[in-house]
Amino acid sequence: MTYGHPNKISNWEPRMTKHTAKPGRKRLSTQGIETVYSWLAAQFDALQAEGQLVVDDYWSRLKAGRAGKKPYERGTLGLRLRSRDSGAFSIEWYEMGALGRDRKPVAKRHIAKGQSHRYPLRQVLQGQPHWLTPLVEETEDVLAELRKRQALLMKVRDALVAYESEITGTSLTATAVLGGYRSSPSETTQSG
């Protein structure tokens, strides 16, 4: 039903999708999406750099706290940052062990993060020396905030990838899209 308005329903055309696209019709523009992808990549890079600073600070403070202590008083919690191809990264706690005659430190056991942005470190800290508890708790407080900010960026990234996939009619992934915008991250970054 029309009421004589120039924007009447009969003038409406459905948006272009892979199901309605016909030869000769133009697809919706993706102009501006590249700018948002570039911004997202810069935000992921900045957040990862901030995370690396926290990891490096933990290791330097751990080494300073271990100085002059007996082996059983040194603590066994390690921390690492791992880059992902999707633009994201993970910052993980693990239990360290020693390998070989040189007693080279290695990741012995990964500690599961759980559902939230925080690691449940209470049980893990029970077997650690008392001097390590404030360091780990302070570090985890900062890391929980970084993980929360990263989760929000990932929601924006995923929504943008879904939007571009819908308007272009192609299947896209975050890895494929953000790969060209990110600075080259290292495989695994770990200090210590």
Domain boundaries defined on the chain: 29-189
Q: Output phi, psi for 150, to 5 deg.
A: -65, -40
**Considering the chain, what is the average pLDDT of its residues?**
80
Q: Do 97 and 105 form a contact (C-beta atoms < 8 A)?
A: yes
Per-residue pLDDT of 59-112, as tens digits, reads 999 999 989 988 888 888 999 999 987 778 999 999 887 656 666 666 678 887
Residue 147 to residue 118: CA distance in whole angstroms: 8
CA distance 34 to 47: 20
Give residue 115's identity as a one-letter amino acid code: Q
Whole-number Å distance between alpha carbons of 140 and 123: 14
Q: What letter represents residue 31's amino acid?
A: Q
Angle at the Cα of 120 from the Cα atoms of 116 and 126, rounded to 5 degrees: 175
- Please report how the helices 33-66 and 132-168 are oriented relative to each other, as an axis angle in degrees rounded to 10: 170
Q: From CA 1, how far away is CA 8, in angstroms rounded?
A: 8
Cα angle vertex 78, ends 74, 83, to 5°? 165
Cα–Cα distance between 151 and 138 in angstroms, integer?
Answer: 20
pLDDT exceeds 60 at position 53:
yes
| pLDDT reported for residue 186 | 46
Residues 163-178: what's their mean pLDDT?
83
What is the token pair recorded at 166?
């819908």
